[in-house]
Amino acid sequence: MLNIRVFTLYPDLFPGPLDIGIYKKARKKKIWDLKIVDIRDTAKDKHRTVDDKPFGGGSGMLLRPDILSSSLDRYINKKNKKERNIYLSPKGKQLDQNFLKKISKEKNINIICGHFEGIDQRLLETRNIEEISIGDYILSGGETASFVFIDAIVRLLPGVLGNKLSTIDETFEKFLLEYPQYTKPQIWEKKTVPEVLLSGDHAKINSWRLSQSEAITRRQRPDLWKKYLNKKNEKH
């Protein structure tokens, strides 16, 4: 079972969307579990203050390392290398499907949700924390990012998705974007389904889908297209 623990200033936001559909069913089946920790529980004053101004000046506030470390150290043994400690940050390593596949095989993942201008650098350096970014944009807090992160991990766990093949041909697999898909009705608003998909010839269908994926990737994601070509050339 995968155990996920989230450290947050806003525990009431959880489990939120993770308590519906396949994610809720998977938790009931004990495929994964979610625990929430309120960082403010280790605050030292009656106002439950967790932040302060950055040394050297600048806008915004930072999460204090003494408060956050007290929260983390209650639940995480900093000498235990078997736990993955993730801080969701815009300056972290870019999240991708390969990383998600690897981390979905872990047993314990701890996620730190930042706020304000982030957290004190000393905490990152002393608690074996990885910085991960879900994209080149800024959110008001790490909670929203954590939903994305957890969603992407949990759906990869065995037994979560009904069809085991669902994740094989998805976008980003093999560095290709997914091909177009169609369903009934066969004619809709005078638009028809590509004939090849009605042919019953699986070899032709697979060839068409590959060509569509290649064309879409080349047009919309030249960065992925370059990786795809490099991978393809390695095989020849």
Q: In sequence order, what are the residues at sequence separation of 6 or more whose Cβ sits closer than 8 angstroms to the Cβ of residue 36?
A: 5, 6, 8, 11, 14, 15
What's the rounded Cα separation, in Å, for the pair 62 and 131? 16
Question: Percent of the chain, pLDDT > 90?
Answer: 83
Provide the token pair at 152.
């992407």
Q: Per-residue pLDDT tens for 36-82?
A: 999 999 998 899 999 999 999 888 899 999 999 999 999 998 766 68
* pLDDT at 168 (0 to 100): 61
φ, ψ for residue 80 (rounded to 5)? -85, 105
Handedness of CA 118, 123, 127, 128 (dihedral sign): positive
pLDDT > 80? residue 214: yes
Going from the C-alpha of 51 to that of each of 43, 59, 63, the distances in angstroms are: 10, 13, 4
Question: 162 falls in which pLDDT band (50, 70, 90)?
Answer: confident
pLDDT over 70 at 158, yes or no: yes
Residues 182-208 have pLDDT tens digits of: 999 999 999 999 999 999 999 999 999
Tokens 């203050």 correspond to what residue?
A: 49
Task: Report the predicted TM-score, pTM, of the whole model to 2 decimal places.
Answer: 0.87
| Low-confidence winner among 17-26, 56-65, 163-172, 213-222 (lowest mean pLDDT) | 163-172
> Tell me, what's the pLDDT at 236?
64
Which pLDDT score, from 0 to 100, does residue 166 have?
A: 59
